[in-house]
Structure 1
Amino acid sequence: MKLGFLTACLPESDLTDIADWAASHGFEALEVAGWPSTDDRNHIRVDRFDEAECDRVRRILTETGLTLSSIAYYENNLHPEQGAEVNAHVRRCVDAAAALGCPTVGTFVGRDPGRPVRDNLKLAEDVFGPLVEYAARHGVEIVIENCVMKSWHPDGYPGNLAYSPELWEWMFGLGLKLNYDPSHLVALGADPVAALRPYVANIAHVQAKDTELLPGKIDRYGFYGPISGEKGWYRFRVPGLGGVDWTRVIDVLYEGGYDGVVSVEHEDPVWSGSTERVQTGLGIAYRTLRHLVRG
């Protein structure tokens, strides 16, 4: 395995600076943000990816010795108005990944909140069949993060139909792979290790994020959380500052034969607000995981 991080936590930094910092602090890989140029999370300029951009990214990776583990574009592929453009950008990410020798592109399944779940599953099959086929022709796998994305549904219900093992099995049947993130299972009340064990062979990428349960909050709001816009009963933290048992998670990955990248996804509100604080958070994650993630 290799240890890396998702660059989206440093939107104000250039890929050159991110890569230099990552390599000098012991990281071995980057999961690089590839949102459109209208978004500040565009460390690879996928929507204007030409020979010069390809050469730029290759040079950065070569000079730092870092592996490009995935191009990240986590948006709603089933959005009722914007879905077609999201799908098109996923294809652009696939094109860039193929040119750079990157094995995966990460995204969400998403959901049309105006349709019931069964209709969304059929819609997803229609949308992702061609996307998976397109990626396969280019030697790339599409990986789906198991994030609930409650903010995408007006009532706070799951907005990304890939959040539970039941739905993982459904998406594996479409040829999609899992970008496994244990933090979201904690937030669902599921055991991240028990949920992981049967599906290691279907995992093509791993994100490392932790979850801290906030004392007393669930007793007020219940499992589904507040309706008032207040913060709920948990928050995401960098690995080591929440409840995920990283020793067991990494051990199960090794036991199941996973040999890819473990990529820190920094969404920790405590270690945010400036480049320096984000880097401090990444350092905490590194010290938590480095003795566990070994090539």
Structure 2
Amino acid sequence: MLELFAAHGMTVSAVSCYENNLIGDLVERARVHEHLRACVRAAAALGVPHVGTFIGRDAGASVAGNLREAERVLPGLVRYADDHGVRLVIENCPMEGWHPDGYPGNLAYSPELWDWMFDLGLYLNFDPSHLLWLGIDPVEALRSVLVSGRVSHFQAKDIEVDERARNRFGVFGKAVTRARPEDTGWWRYRVPGRGQLDWNRIIDTLYCGGFDGTVAVEHEDPVWAGAWTRQGLEIAVETLRPLIR
């Protein structure tokens, strides 16, 4: 596999295991944790430095209760990854679709929670697109967190916000007519260059903060999907390539 990637001038920056590590069903949680450990072993065998995952949340418990439970169960997974020379990087996606009422289902969505999870030995897979609709300035958040040295991976994804639609649905999105969890009605993810994020400032902030890791495009743009996926990735490359030296 590594030979195939090398032949095409490619490397693997992370293995993905984006499941709910705090899910309330303990049988399912055990399966999730075993899958995460298997991904750690796979990453170690391939020489891949990161495994991306979520903190998650037990939707039947309070935030405070979830934080206490995470402090109990996650350090063992961090130690397992450390023993294999792998970092667990947590994406800051709210995963509101995991909560029955659309509240955050992944307790890693804000800078406050990043400080908390760093204390557990976890790293951040920074995705600026999630911050804009939460009312957080992505550039300011990135600037403040880079000093921690815990941003180990970066996901380049854009976002388009419809402020008029937000006036109808509110920040939590559609309640009656939502067709799927991500159908909020007032924002949607875009490829870099087709949304509202300032990629010149974002990439410059990464450089100023000393970031030397991977900038990986995450393609969740509904416009450039399906048969147009490749074109969407090409738009992302055209947007980012002039900014990355």
TM-score scaled by length of structure 2: 0.94
After the TM superposition, which parts of structure 1 deviate over 4 Å for at least 4 consecutive aligned residues? none
Cα distance, 1:293–1:229 mapped onto 2, change above 3 Å: farther
CA distance in 1, matches of 2:152, 2:84: 16
Task: Output the CA distance in 2 between the equivalents of 1:222 and 1:204.
Answer: 33
1:61 pairs with 2:5: yes
Q: Distance in 2 between matches of 1:124 and 1:229?
A: 34
- How many residue pairs align between the two structures? 236
The residue aligned with 2:162 is 214
Counterpart check, 1:281 vs 2:239: no
Write the distance in 2 (CA, Å) between the matches of 1:122 and 1:250.
35
Deviation at 1:214, TM superposition (A): 1.9
Deviations, residues 25-80 of structure 1 (Å, cap 9, x unaligned): xxxxxxxxxxxxxxxxxxxxxxxxxxxxxxxx212122112121000111111112
Correspondence 1:85 to 2:38: no
1:133 aligns with 79
* Structure 2: runs of 5 or more not aligned: none
Q: What secondary structure sits across from 2:226 in the alignment?
A: coil
Q: Deviations over 1:176-205 (max 9, x none)?
A: 000000000011011100011111121000
Counterparts of 2:29 and 2:112, CA distance in 1 = 24
Q: Percent identity?
A: 56
1:247 is matched with 200
RMSD: 1.0
Among 220, 238, 245, the alignment partner of 1:267 is: 220
Question: For 1:102-156, what per-residue CA distance to the aligned partner results, in whole angstroms no more than 9, with x for missing partners?
Answer: 1100000000000000110111122210010010011110000000000000010
In 2, the alpha carbon distance for the partners of 1:99 and 1:206 equals 23
Amino acid across the alignment from 1:90: L
Amino acid of the structure 2 residue aligned with 1:254: Y
Match in the other structure for 1:203: 151
CA distance in structure 2 between the partners assigned to 1:292 and 1:87 by the alignment: 38
**Structural mapping, 1:19-34, within 5 Å:** none
Report what 1:53 is aligned to.
none
Instruction: Name the amino acid aligned to 1:144.
Output: I
**Counterparts in 2 of 1:144 and 1:229: CA distance versus 1, 3 Å:** farther
Q: Which runs of 5+ in 1 are unaligned?
A: 1-56
Provide the C-alpha distance between the structure 1 equivalents of 2:135 and 2:238, rounded to a whole number of angstroms.
Answer: 27
When you count strand as a share of all residues, which structure comes out higher? 1
SS state of the match for residue 218, structure 1? helix
What letter corresponds to residue 76 of structure 1 in structure 2?
N
- Structure with the bigger RCO (C-alpha within 8 Å, sep 6+) is 1
